[in-house]
Amino acid sequence: MASTVMKSNCLGCGKISITYDCKGCQEAFCYNHLIMHNQQLNQQYDDIENQSNVFKQKIDQHQQNISPHPLLQQINEWEQDSIQKIQKTAEEARNIINQHKSEHLKQIDSKLEKLTDGMGRLKCDNDFNEIDINNFKVQLDELQKQLNKPKHIRIREDSTLVKKIEVFVSARQINLTTDMKWNPNAVTVAGGHGQGQALNQLSIPNGIDIDDNDGTIVVSEYGNSRIVEWKKDATTGRIVAGGNGHLANSHSIIIDHWNNEFIIADTGNKRVVRWPRQGATSGQTIISNVQCIGLAMNKDDDLYVVDHEKHEVRRWKTGDKEGTLVAGGNGAGTHLNQLSTPRYVFVDENESVYVSEYSNHRVMKWMKGAKEGIVVAGGHGAGSSLKQLNGANGIFVDEFETVYVADRFNHRIMRWVKGSTEGEIVVGGNGQGNQSNQLWYPFDVVFDNESNLYVADGYNHRVQKFSIVKNE
């Protein structure tokens, strides 16, 4: 664990002697106190290892005795109302819930196994320090929180004589790690035939969402002022909203599974609209007088709306007249209580709001109720270094607060690990172009349930899929 040899004051005894730098804490120790320091590190490691083993036992206990989900009682009550006709449906609903919880436990178990494998490798090589121990502790604490916190699920009833009951898992389960890699060469899954209005073409796609039930990709087109749905492996799309003069320069798009609707940032008309997914020729205005580009929705179906003219983000609950300010709202500027031309937004499980700023070339995190934000990506002016962004656009944040951002004018997607002073390129970054490893003004970024990465490749008029590289 030691590297540089020099004479200096030992942190342990304070005496001037030959000292050795610890790679983790960067402090200097004499030989005797270095040994003591390493012993302390080993003890800390053993403590975390013991916690990990205890936690593994808890997971095994949960797997052996999966407790009924509270929603099962509602299912059972409904079943009694029409025993014969709905028994099959009730059983299907039970299976979905139990399968969901079982998968939740398996996912946590898999993450723990990967964590312990990493710990084991470092211990075997005797190559760990305070930074590694702290990272292990943070990841283990997060897994412990997740054990009894499965993603939000709800039941929807159909008010007929014999009610139909369905189970919806509302939150996308995406498992990302900081060492994940994607194939640098993408596959085009929508568009890719030049700019145009034909059903095999797109025009400046700038917002995308994915239906995890069947892999359908929904694309918002700025140039065609429409929303187009592309089924998995389809060679053409289908217009599902707009394209008839009812939208103008649309941006962000959200699939609202609960209400079977789209929520669209109708930027040119200065509004946000709801649009039924099936058979509608027009939408319903739900928020007016807002120059919205970015949209997000939390687990309670509250909308988070970016107004890039007012340099603010507001949360809108059903029935709100004005919404609640959650970020910015103090004019355009570079201060921590300001935003400048905000573009896209992401909200996490704790209702922390992440906002990309086009003009400030940064991503800000505003915790729930905060009066100012903190910089979590960029913030060093426009540029192409790993510390910089240039025209920050679409963002995604994983459960470990790792930020993925579409770095528009650098033609790349960047990843910023929590606490890092610089990011790393995950795809793109090979200059402006239309090759499979290139992007041209990427606008939005999303992931599917298999952790594949999708990019709205704006000026190439296509959506690119970068497949996850599986660890063998």
Residue 159 shares a structural domain with residue 213: no
**Cβ-proximal residues to 329 (8 Å cutoff; 6+ apart), any chain:** 310, 311, 312
Residue 193 shares a structural domain with residue 91: no
Domain presence at residue 430: yes
Domain presence at residue 126: yes
**Along the 472 residues of the chain, how does pLDDT read in single tens digits?**
444 456 888 888 888 888 888 878 888 888 889 888 988 889 989 999 899 898 888 888 877 776 677 788 878 777 777 776 767 777 888 888 888 888 888 888 888 888 888 888 878 877 778 887 888 788 888 888 877 766 667 777 766 657 777 776 655 668 888 889 999 999 999 999 999 999 999 999 999 999 988 899 999 999 999 999 999 999 999 999 999 999 999 999 999 988 889 999 999 999 999 999 988 899 999 999 999 999 999 988 899 999 999 999 999 998 888 899 999 999 999 999 999 999 999 999 899 999 999 999 999 999 999 999 999 999 999 999 999 999 999 999 998 999 999 999 999 999 999 999 999 999 999 999 999 999 999 999 999 989 999 999 999 999 999 999 975 4
Terminal Cα-to-Cα distance of the chain (whole angstroms): 30
Residue 382 shares a structural domain with residue 435: yes
Domain presence at residue 181: no
Q: Which domain holds residue 156?
A: 2-169
Separation CA 8–CA 10 (nearest Å): 6
Residue 143 shares a structural domain with residue 194: no
Q: Is 83 exposed, middle or buried (0-12, 13-18, 19+ CB in 10 A)?
A: exposed
Domain presence at residue 471: no
Q: Is 199 exposed, middle or buried (0-12, 13-18, 19+ CB in 10 A)?
A: middle
Domain presence at residue 211: yes
Residue 256 shares a structural domain with residue 142: no
Domain presence at residue 308: yes
Domain presence at residue 182: no
Contact 43, 130 (CB under 8 A): no
Note the pLDDT of residue 3: 45
Separation CA 43–CA 117 (nearest Å): 18
Residue 229 shares a structural domain with residue 342: yes
Chain mean position to CA 36:
42
Domain presence at residue 175: no
Residue 221 shares a structural domain with residue 108: no
Q: What is the CATH number of the domain that holds 282?
A: 2.120.10.30
pTM of the model: 0.74
Phi, psi for residue 270 in degrees, rounded to 5: 55, 55
Residue 116 shares a structural domain with residue 22: yes
Residue 165 shares a structural domain with residue 230: no
Note the pLDDT of residue 159: 62
- Which of 169, 200, 224 terminates a domain? The answer is 169
- C-alpha closest to that of 106 among 76, 154, 150: 150
Residue 306 shares a structural domain with residue 444: yes
- Which of 142, 169, 196 terminates a domain? The answer is 169
Note the pLDDT of residue 115: 82
Instruction: State the total domains in the chain.
Output: 2
Residue 137 shares a structural domain with residue 193: no
Note the pLDDT of residue 161: 59
Q: At what angle are helices 31-64 and 130-147 packed, to 10 degrees?
A: 20
**Bridge pairing between strands 362-366 and 353-357:** antiparallel
Residue 287 shares a structural domain with residue 365: yes
Chain mean position to CA 181:
16
